[in-house]
Amino acid sequence: MNDRIRTDIAHNARVWNYWLGGKDNYPVDRAVGDQVTGFYPSIGEVARADRAFLGRAVTHLAAERGVRQFLDIGTGLPTADNTHEVAQRSAPDARIVYVDNDPIVLTHARALLTSAPEGITEYVDADAHDPEKILAAAGATLDLSRPVAVMMLGILNFVLDTDEARSIVRTLMDAVPSGSFLVLTHPTLEPELGGEGNKAAMAFWNENATPPITARSRAEFTSFFEGLDLLEPGVVSCSRWRSATEDTHVVAQFGAVGHKP
Ligand SMILES: C[S@@+](CC[C@H](N)C(=O)[O-])C[C@H]1O[C@@H](n2cnc3c(N)ncnc32)[C@H](O)[C@@H]1O
């Protein structure tokens, strides 16, 4: 086993995999996952809504906006409908670079390297706190002079300092040209999204699991899109972003897509 993998403490990538119904997790992940669900019963629904948002956003960008390059930071463990599978369904020539810093995701990265022959997928073992390193590595696969969809779904919540999180986003978006997109999801405590239950769940998480997490308000989440044009319907529960039906249940996870003018 990779000696970076710790089985004595719950890891986010593995617990997320557990909530999504996956099998790439350990007893400690399932125990903490169940306890978090006790504090916040809709967490499994949040995880599923987040993945469904990924599907709709990537399909929209590939099929309707002509995006052919995706930089998916905080990829998570391979699951159904990974970014390259969704993108290449509409655009087989799409290029995808995945980035995560969890050793177990690296161990399973092979399952992400199943590109359509016309396109390419690559995996980079790197930390979101080091966007320059990510850009340097991504540049080997992506043409950073052409539009890129920078995706950070459920990961900026692990960059605890909001100014640093904004600076990471700015560094990434400054490195890609006009016509690029920023795709984000992020947990919140906002009552409008029913986020109150997140508070106790996150406090429990921070005492029992890794990495530590934080929630952000609507204003903080929206600030990540400064200088970008938000696509309709703007900042909403990720379950409501361009969903087929109006009556989709709201979850305490913001989702939005911004366009770099
Ligand atoms: C909640 S999961 C989201 C996975 C996927 N993006 C999704 O939306 O289903 C967050 C992922 O971010 C990764 N992650 C957390 N902090 C990170 C960091 N500082 N650098 C890179 N990846 C990180 C975790 O390992 C995990 O795989």
Q: Is residue 133 a part of any domain in this protein? A: yes
Q: How far apart are CA 223 and CA 116, in angstroms?
A: 36
Q: Where are the alpha helices (DSSP H) in the chain?
A: 12-19, 27-39, 43-59, 83-90, 103-107, 131-138, 162-174, 198-208, 218-223
Q: Is residue 135 a part of any domain in this protein? A: yes
Q: Is residue 39 a part of any domain in this protein? A: no
Q: Which two tokens stand for residue 37?
A: 């669900």
Would you say residue 1 has pLDDT above 60?
A: no
Q: Mutation test of ligand 1: which of 12, 83, 161 has the most ligand atoms closer than 8 Å to its C-beta?
A: 12
Percent share of the chain, pLDDT over 70: 99
Q: How far apart are CA 182 and CA 237, in angstroms?
A: 16
Average pLDDT over residues 185-213: 96
Q: Is residue 24 a part of any domain in this protein? A: no
Q: What distances in angstroms separate CA 253 from CA 23, 47, 131, one per listed residue?
A: 24, 9, 24
CATH of the domain at 126: 3.40.50.150
Q: What is the mean pLDDT of the chain?
A: 96
Q: Is residue 138 a part of any domain in this protein? A: yes
CB atoms within 10 A of CB 128: 22
SS3 category, 224 = coil
pLDDT of residue 244: 86
Q: Is residue 124 a part of any domain in this protein? A: yes
Q: Mutation test of ligand 1: which of 16, 25, 71 has the most ligand atoms closer than 8 Å to its C-beta?
A: 16
Domain carrying residue 118: 46-192+215-259
Inter-residue contact 195 to 220 (CB < 8 Å): no
CA 152 / ligand 1 centre spacing (Å): 8
Average pLDDT over residues 162-180: 98
- Structural domain count, the chain: 1
- Read off the pTM: 0.98
Q: Phi and psi of 117, rounded to 5°? A: -60, -30
Q: Is residue 15 a part of any domain in this protein? A: no
For the segment 208-229, what is each residue's pLDDT rounded down to a tens digit? 999 999 999 999 999 999 999 9
Parallel, antiparallel, or unpaired for β 181-187 and 149-153? parallel
- Ligand 1 site residues (CB inside 6 A) read 12-13, 16, 50-51, 54, 74-76, 100-102, 105, 127-129, 153-155, 158, 211
Tell me which residue has its CA closest to atom 13 in ligand 1.
74
Q: How far apart are CA 178 and CA 147, in angstroms?
A: 7
**123: β partners:** 98
Tell me which residue has its CA closest to atom 14 in ligand 1.
74
Q: Is residue 209 a part of any domain in this protein? A: no
For the segment 53-100, what is each residue's pLDDT rounded down to a tens digit? 999 999 999 999 999 999 999 999 999 999 999 999 999 999 999 999
